[in-house]
Chain A
Amino acid sequence: MKRGDQRRDRGSVRSSFILAGLILSLAAIPVSYAADANVQVHLNTNKTGPRAVEPLTERGILRDYRFAWASMAQALQFNTLDPLEGPFQGDAKQWLRQTIMSQRESSLSRRYADQSHQLEAVFYAPEGDVIELHDTAQYQVQILDGNKIIQDQHIVMHYVVLMTPGADRWVVRQLQAVPQF
């Protein structure tokens, strides 16, 4: 092999490393953002009562509900409790924690993808301290036993959701799947 070829090879190896490093860093930084961006949420407040939902409140609920689902998906995929801190409180947080502990024990995990949520606010308390939402959610969910996918299915599910305002965000307190509204 000529000396020039060797130099070219070293150069291409170096650039490959740089490229790989860039890809890795790009992939690592926006994990939460990417997960969040994959969750589509639409909110209908036309039939809400007795209190009307102000546009700023609507935006806050959309943002925080999207974040809650992105966090839940992350927690259930990697069996980690940290993502639940913040977006969930009360009973919703408790059963999610139990689910993750249980998944860890059984080496199971769930992977959510292509989430779409059609939210309808059905009740907003007179003093604005609790809102009830109906969520018609669609997503692809894979259930894994270790690394083996045992189920990969497109799901349409109905959820009754209670959210309350916290210090700086809306938190999910109740997330209960029902057969229909």
Chain B
Amino acid sequence: MKMRRLLQICVVVTIAVSCVGACVAQDFRVPDSATAGEETAISTSGGGKGTFYLLGPGVARKNDVTLGEEIKLSSQDTRTAGAYTVILCSDSCHSAVFFVNAAKPTSLTFLAHPSRVPVAQGDAVSGVAFPFDQYHNLVLAPATVNFQITAKDSSLWSRAVRAENGVAWFRTASGKSAGLVQLTATLDDLLTRRAVQQVASDACNLRIMGERTRTGITVQTEPVHDCAGNVLPDGTIVTFTSIGPHGRGTVDAPIKQGVARAQMEAEGATTISAASGVVLGNEIRIEARP
């Protein structure tokens, strides 16, 4: 009987002694918030050994730790913004979550549309900018992005836009002059450029002239401009149509250096007209060969 009592006491004492090392209640404190790529620490209390787990975007770590000591998280651990779960296990497991916020912006992603646009078109040019930190986290903190359109170092348009939910955007009309324009998005000292080619719009006052030659009729346009005076780009097609005693014929001719030319075969009196896109030009009549 005495022997059994002694054994019971021994068991209780053994458990108590072993618990001094491991059964001290553990507690820990995670940071209220942290910044991506910055070192931070988790303070623990209690004593003995424990197992520490860190699970977050881009990290899943497991370490043996001594309770009561601070657990350091390196800048590598917290590079990605998001939610991090900390679990500390000794006799039981406890968990907490903390958030890592994006660091300050170091790049500006700028999507601009289109790359080629006719002049004087309403709401034809748009741009969207997203600020990112050096670890490619989307920066959600309020910021003002300045958008600007420039041509040959002169500003054509600009607007300051407050980024909401990590995005700033604009939409505006294309300019009046054909040529290359630059779109820029600026945030503090960050600047991103995009180029947009503004091209002439539809032809305006399309006029043609023609003369009979030995082999037929030569027709050509006057220099083709849009309504803002921009020369239509090379390659724009002008369609010449002839109507004569032998019927109807059409010839497509590309504009070269502002002028489209065509040679048409036609006997007898012929009426010739021209069109470019939806724009119709004048009609001319070439009389029959005398």
Contacts and interface: CB of A to CB of B under 8 A. Distances in A.
Decide whether A and B assemble into one complex.
Answer: yes
Interface of A: 50, 90-91, 94-96, 98-99, 102-103, 105-108, 110, 122-123, 125-127, 129-130, 132, 134, 143, 145, 150-151, 153, 157, 160, 162, 174-179, 181
A95 B128 contact: no
B53 A98 contact: no
B82 A177 contact: yes
A51 B171 CA distance: 11
Interface of B: 33, 51, 53, 55-62, 80-83, 85, 87, 89, 93, 95, 99, 102, 111, 113-114, 126, 128, 130, 136-138, 140, 164-167, 169, 171
A87 B58 CA distance: 17
Contacts of A175: 57
A143 B81 contact: no
Contact of B89 (A99, A150, A160): A150
A178 B89 contact: no
Given A106-B60, A178-B99, A126 B169 contact: yes
Contacts of A178: 82, 99, 140
Contacts, number: 104
Contacts of A99: 56-60
B83 A157 contact: yes
Contacts of A106: 60-62
A103 B87 contact: no
Contact of A176 (B62, B81, B113): B81
A122 B165 contact: yes
Contacts of A157: 83
Given A102-B59, A103-B60, A160-B165, 10 more contacts: A95-B80, A98-B58, A102-B60, A143-B55, A176-B137, A176-B138, A177-B82, A177-B83, A177-B99, A179-B33
Given A99-B60, A157-B83, A176-B82, A110 B171 contact: no
